[in-house]
Structure 1
Amino acid sequence: MTRPRPLVPRPDPADAIGVVGEFGLIARVLARSGSARVAEVGPGDDAAVLRAPDGRVVACTDVLVEGRHFRRDWSSAEDVGHKAAAANLADVAAMGAVPTALLVGLACPADTPAVWLEGVADGMAAECAPFGAAVVGGDTVASAPDSSSVVLSVTALGDLGGRAPVRRDGARPGDVVAVAGRLGWSACGLAVLRRGFRAPAAAIAAHRRPTPPYAAGPAAADAGATSMCDTSDGLLADAGHLAADSGVGIDLDRATLAAFVTGPLPQVAAALGGDPLGWVLTGGEDHALVATFPPTAALPEGWTVIGRVHDDASGVEVDGVPAAQVAADLGEGAGHVHFG
């Protein structure tokens, strides 16, 4: 493992937002943001005007706070942009929709470098580009005088393309539980960063820029998924949302989940003295998707069955053991809890 090098460039006072100004900043950011395929009126007016081909709009919002969701000494500006976009675009995919646009609210100190925010815009644009989506508007404001933190509030919009939305409350006894995407990689990278290292590179990259399986969401909807959500808070916690909202129990198969201990997870766990299965079960921010399907459904490519739904509304278990106990045995909490 190698010691870190600073990611924050030396500040240029002439490039601070307080000098560049609000509209100068907006012009620089929008020049890097691309254009949304569905936009009739893009950024620059009082509001954007977007086409909604399906007649319905999927909408979600996430807030990222510096020091809690990202650190500028751990992640580049582009990393932060990718991560902020991905956290929202994954929620759109989890409804079975395709992303179309982002709205971004920014609060930051006046001495924040404008070039850093250009990097955030580059990251967001790159994350949105495969869908023909882009930032179509938002707002900027100076943070409180005693605050040195950057806050990003991102709203994502999406189109269902004629599909029924896949909600959290549709799981039925007898359904299979399946996952698409990686589990535990972001938590592994976070564990490395917290100990002052910047390698293995694959673990750090997974934390800085999650790679949600966006196409798996619409594909699951087309295949008849009965419930779905993204795993932003960890597999146990988010499978728990499906179980609670559907009034069912979910039993996950430990042996199958152990197969997700791949890539850098075994190496890092061995170096740090932990059990990598803990990251798979409780680590959030990979933004994998977890869903339930009828037992006769043909699962789309990229989905792996990891458990079953039963009619005992007992929450989530792993091989019959309650999730909280499994997490505690692995030395982990049961997942991320805001204000916890």
Structure 2
Amino acid sequence: MTEGTSVAKDGEFGLIARVTARLTAGPTCLLGPGDDAALVAAPDGRVVASTDVLVDGRHFRRDWGSGTDIGHRAAAANLADIAAMGAYPTALLVALCAPPDLDAAWAEELADGLAEEAESVGASVVGGDMSASPTLTVAVTALGDMHGLQPVLRSGARPGDIVAMAGRVGFAGAGYTVLSRGFRTPKLLVDAYRRPQVPYKQGPIANRLGATSMIDVSDGLLADLGHIADASKVAIDVHRDAFDLPDQMRDAATALGVDPYSWVLGGGDDHALCATFPAGVALPEEWRRVGTVAEGEGVTVDGRAWEGRLGWDHFKI
């Protein structure tokens, strides 16, 4: 990114003009930025909504990725929540709170990343807000449509169900550790942290297959499956041998003195989708069986309590 004018020099409305000029309207955007509110189509008559916030130094670091990378991450964190309900994303609303000396070009990069991630699922950035703040903060609200389906809740898992996953886990967590130790390779892991590869389409597919519960893995596989276990009042057992570890992850774990399964089971930010299905359901190739549901409570790994970290907690240091 080339240093240029600051957001303070541009002013609020100048910055808004720069950012909105980079946005395109998707098929569900009937009226985009420029008025007091946007107008988004809701063919189903029900709107799925989710909000997430990213704070500089807490959820991202500008020296670890570009504004475009952070835009992708911010959009993915919200769009994945829509997919995890078995729904189709339609729109994003974005609030940016920025220090006055922030380079305006960085804000443009952020807009590019948000727009690109939204466009990848047929959604669009339809509006938002801006404010000055000593801490750079990006807050995103995602909207979605059910297309006539019923939402898949966390509370529907039943004893006898299988647990399956679409996407990958551990890659972003490994990338975070690599970056926090001052390294920039392996590229596979660092890129996974910078830009998640979210299996958005698999959310509605799982819904149509009869998924009984679903969640996206944002905080860590065991922590997020714990939410399903709690909401459904069941026990979930995860099978560790269901996960393939790439050589880059094994090598990085050895070099850094880390158990790679701490990334797989406790690392977040990959936004894989985990769902429970009735036994006997024929899963598409994008889904792999990773566990089972039984009577009881809590989450175990191969029948035993996991001694490592379960996942991310925003209020723990």
TM-score by length of 1: 0.91
Q: Please, which of 303, 311, 314 is the counterpart of residue 335 of structure 1?
A: 311
1:270 to 2:254 alignment: yes
Q: Determine the C-alpha separation between the residues in 2 that align with 1:98 and 1:124.
A: 17
1:322 to 2:312 alignment: no
**Paired residue for 2:167?**
181
Q: Determine the C-alpha separation between the residues in 1 that align with 2:121 and 2:167.
A: 18
Alpha carbons of structure 1 residues 263 and 181: separation in structure 2 relative to 1, 3 Å: farther
> Which structure 2 residue ranges, 5 or more long, are not aligned?
none
**Paired residue for 1:61?**
51
Contact 1:220 1:300 in 2 (8 A): no
**Paired residue for 1:4?**
none
> Which structure 1 residue ranges, 5 or more long, are not aligned?
1-8, 328-332
* Residue identity matched to 1:214: Y
**Paired residue for 1:206?**
192
Q: Please, which of 202, 214, 234 is the counterpart of residue 216 of structure 1?
A: 202
Q: Percent identity?
A: 56
1:255 to 2:241 alignment: yes
Superposition map of 1:70-81 within 5 A: 70-81=60-71
The root-mean-square deviation of aligned C-alpha atoms, in Å, is 1.1
Contact 2:3 2:105 in 1 (8 A): no
Q: Determine the C-alpha separation between the residues in 2 that align with 1:73 and 1:118.
A: 17
Q: Please, which of 29, 32, 42 is the counterpart of residue 42 of structure 1?
A: 32
Contact 1:108 1:151 in 2 (8 A): yes
Q: Determine the C-alpha separation between the residues in 2 that align with 1:140 and 1:264.
A: 40
* Residue identity matched to 2:269: E
* Residue identity matched to 1:201: K
Deviates more, 1:123-132 or 1:173-182: 123-132
**Paired residue for 1:84?**
74
**Paired residue for 1:5?**
none
Cα shift at 1:130: 2.2
Secondary structure, counterpart of 2:126 in structure 1: strand
* Residue identity matched to 1:161: H
Q: Please, which of 224, 227, 234 is the counterpart of residue 220 of structure 2?
A: 234
Superposition map of 1:141-152 within 5 A: 141-143=131-133, 147=134, 149-152=135-138
Deviates more, 1:15-24 or 1:32-41: 32-41
**Paired residue for 1:330?**
none
Deviates more, 1:59-68 or 1:32-41: 32-41
Q: Determine the C-alpha separation between the residues in 2 that align with 1:138 and 1:309.
A: 41
Deviations 1:63-112 (A, max 9, x none): 00000111111110100000000000100000001111000011011111
Contact 1:168 1:242 in 2 (8 A): yes
**Paired residue for 1:118?**
108
Q: Determine the C-alpha separation between the residues in 2 that align with 1:307 and 1:73.
A: 38
Q: Determine the C-alpha separation between the residues in 1 that align with 2:240 and 2:174.
A: 19
Contact 1:42 1:49 in 2 (8 A): yes
Cα shift at 1:338: 1.6
Deviates more, 1:183-192 or 1:248-257: 248-257
* Residue identity matched to 1:247: K
Secondary structure, counterpart of 2:120 in structure 1: helix
Deviations 1:37-73 (A, max 9, x none): 1122211100011110111111000000000111111
Q: Determine the C-alpha separation between the residues in 1 that align with 2:128 and 2:104.
A: 16
Cα shift at 1:36: 2.5
**Paired residue for 1:301?**
285
**Paired residue for 2:122?**
132
Cα shift at 1:175: 0.2
Cα shift at 1:186: 0.4
**Paired residue for 2:11?**
21
**Paired residue for 2:22?**
32
Cα shift at 1:300: 2.5
Alpha carbons of structure 1 residues 21 and 228: separation in structure 2 relative to 1, 3 Å: same
Secondary structure, counterpart of 1:135 in structure 2: strand
TM-score by length of 2: 0.97
